[in-house]
Amino acid sequence: MLNLDSRVKELVNKSENIVFFGGAGVSTESGIPDFRSENGLYQAQSQYGYAPEEMLSHTFFIKHTETFYDYYKKNMIYPDVKPNKAHYALAELEEKGKVKAIVTQNIDGLHQLAGSKNVYELHGSVLRNYCMQCHTFYDVSYIMKSENSAANDETGSQIPKCIKCGGLVKPDVVLYEEPLDQSVMAGAIGAISKADLLIVGGTSLVVYPASGLINYFRGNNLILINKSTTQYDRRANLVIHESIGEVLG
């Protein structure tokens, strides 16, 4: 049952084409830590000797694949997490015909798990993985199964390899140094440009090019929900520095 913040509810009620644009703050309320946080940075440096951004780069994936996967599986995949109140509220608003699209920077698939259908995943998803040679699809369980003999090479490493051709399996996530998927970007831009209400939540709007999407919004009402201030606060009709889960539902 929706229990929207009264300030948000007023704008939602008079809107017919709502788009939600979310970031890491939406997932942290489900228990997924933000790897860009101070704790995440410290943990990566102390355990691996590298910053998270370096380990999650295309170059590092190619040159240090085993270390990449060791960090990736421990810090980017959380198979037991569940959607939170924000995810479910947005899914319900989509079912009611209010929310037309969700644009997310997260890679956890929680919006879809909550029931949302029209989701633009700017940075891909940990739930999808592909062989870099023959493009065979593998789900996240294949990546996580360390006992899977097909994932072991002769050295005993746990690098996921393709059962069909032996090629390297790569997560369908956008690593640093890689461009965003242009078809996903085009869809997100199209949705945002048509919206009459844009709700931005759980993001500080500093990671480009994704944060630049807000500039395509031409509607009348902009809501920003984030625990800290953003560079776009002055442009919003409503700014709420609170938990997005509590605000939305």
pLDDT per residue as tens digits for the range 184-221: 999 999 999 999 999 999 998 887 777 789 999 999 99
Domains (range + CATH), the chain = 6-30+82-123+174-248 (3.40.50.1220), 33-77 (no CATH)
Cβ–Cβ under 8 Å, residues 223 and 202: no
Q: Which residue has the higher pLDDT, 157 or 222?
A: 222
pLDDT per residue as tens digits for the range 94-129: 999 999 999 999 999 999 999 999 999 999 999 999
* DSSP state, residue 16: S
Q: Which pTM was predicted?
A: 0.92
Exposure of 23 in the CB half-sphere (CA atoms within 13 A): 23
pLDDT per residue as tens digits for the range 42-52: 788 889 999 99
Closest by CA position to 110, among listed 40, 182, 20: 20
Distance CA 195, CA 37 (A): 31
* DSSP state, residue 207: S
**225 strand-pairing partners:** 201, 240
If pLDDT is split at 50, 70 and 90, which confidence band does 72 have?
Answer: very high
Please, what is the average pLDDT of the chain? 90
Which residues are the active-site residues? 123
pLDDT of residue 151: 44
